[in-house]
Structure 1
Amino acid sequence: MIVDGVEMREIRPADAAGVADVLDRNRAYMAPYEPLRTEAFYTEAGQRTRIEELLAERDGGRARPYVLIGGGVPIGAINLGSIVFGALCSGAVGYWVDQAWAGKGVATAALEEVCRVAREEVGLHRVEAGTRVGNLASQRVLAKAGFEQYGLAPRYLHVGGDWQDHCLFHRLLHDDPPVLQDQSSRGRGEFDDRP
């Protein structure tokens, strides 16, 4: 449990129907902060495809996708993605929570757990995240989880029908040197000077 009544676990293809349902119910709530989506995105088949893509990223060593379960059904998701090793040792996190569960510490607890995974299991030095400038709720979640703002990206993502400025945040997890590892076993993801 990450908070009372909420479990965070790796997402599975069997979660597709529940994830599609919660996303469909939260369309209006999340619209100001999400890219425009096709109708297929809100279907079980669309979510099954997305989950399979996330699991392929996991298998390639580039992601750790999770679902948040409350009351026995999906209520959100959090994904550690864009994992890069080598000299950078970094990843990016994205998350969302059902409106009915917002403000209850679910996103903060999930973010803290993902940072623990990033450091202890994946071996990352830092995790980053971005929020639309006006998304104060998400910025509070990031601050509570130990993230600090380090920049502003003008016209960063096409969200809510227009290119939107985003605040950029990061959390440094440790200052140990990167562990040297054979990157070929993890797929692409090494960050170095080679073309």
Structure 2
Amino acid sequence: MEIESEDIADGVILRLAEPADAPALCAAYAGNRTHLEPWEPRRPESFFTVAGQQRRLEEQLRQYADGRIVPWLFERDGRIVGTITLSGIALGAFCSSYLGYWVAADQQGRGIATGAVRRVCRIARDTIGLHRIEATILPENTGSARVLEKCGFEVIGLAPHYLHINGRWRDHRIFQRVLHDEHPVA
């Protein structure tokens, strides 16, 4: 699947991750560790190392080659300022995927997540052929809720004790966006 880089907001480029990104991704996660902590699973110390990010990227790129995920990065002036990923890609009768993203603390409020989610929805529909995308967020994550709503997602439910986030099982609001109602490609 060929996916081109694109300027999504204020000079921020959305592009596919590549193996050479491990040091920059390590720096991005280390620099945003406190910012991301309330919204993510607890990470082992190895996650915040170049070697840990290298292993993670290699696995993501293996899954990308198999058509199971698409890992993108947000880059501004050579610095990674966030990520967005389609994961759990299922084709056939389901034609669906899960969406996850984060934006660096010092880049919040610039339209990066909104621009990226809009672009990823177009790619999911036009390039991958997905019918829908699902995203789950913590109920108190009002910023992500606004992004998803601006991008055409709607709330479809609440999943009690859905993910183990920051040391405990947390409820999540479930959002979805239906991209089209055409028949799936065989």
Does the alignment reach a TM-score above 0.5? yes
Q: Which runs of 5+ in 2 are unaligned?
A: 1-6
1:100 maps to which of 103, 106, 117:
106
Q: Which runs of 5+ in 1 are unaligned?
A: 181-195
Correspondence 1:57 to 2:71: no
Q: Which amino acid aligns with 1:123?
A: G
Task: Give the match for residue 68 of structure 1.
Answer: 74
Q: CA RMSD in A?
A: 0.7
Task: Give the match for residue 3 of structure 1.
Answer: 9
1:144 maps to which of 142, 150, 169:
150
Aligned length: 180
Following TM superposition, the consecutive aligned residue runs of length 4 or more in structure 1 with deviations greater than 2 angstroms are none
**Whole-Å separation in 1 of the counterparts to 2:99 and 2:60:** 13
TM-score (norm 1): 0.91
Task: Give the match for residue 189 of structure 1.
Answer: none
Q: Percent same amino acid at aligned positions? A: 47
Task: Give the match for residue 121 of structure 2.
Answer: 115
**Whole-Å separation in 1 of the counterparts to 2:148 and 2:49:** 30
TM-score (norm 2): 0.95
**Whole-Å separation in 2 of the counterparts to 1:52 and 1:93:** 20
> 1:15-73 deviations in whole A, cap 9, x for unaligned?
11111111111111111100000011011111111111111111111111101101211
2:174 maps to which of 162, 168, 179:
168
**Whole-Å separation in 1 of the counterparts to 2:17 and 2:110:** 21
> 1:119-174 deviations in whole A, cap 9, x for unaligned?
00000000110001111111111111111110100000000111000000010000
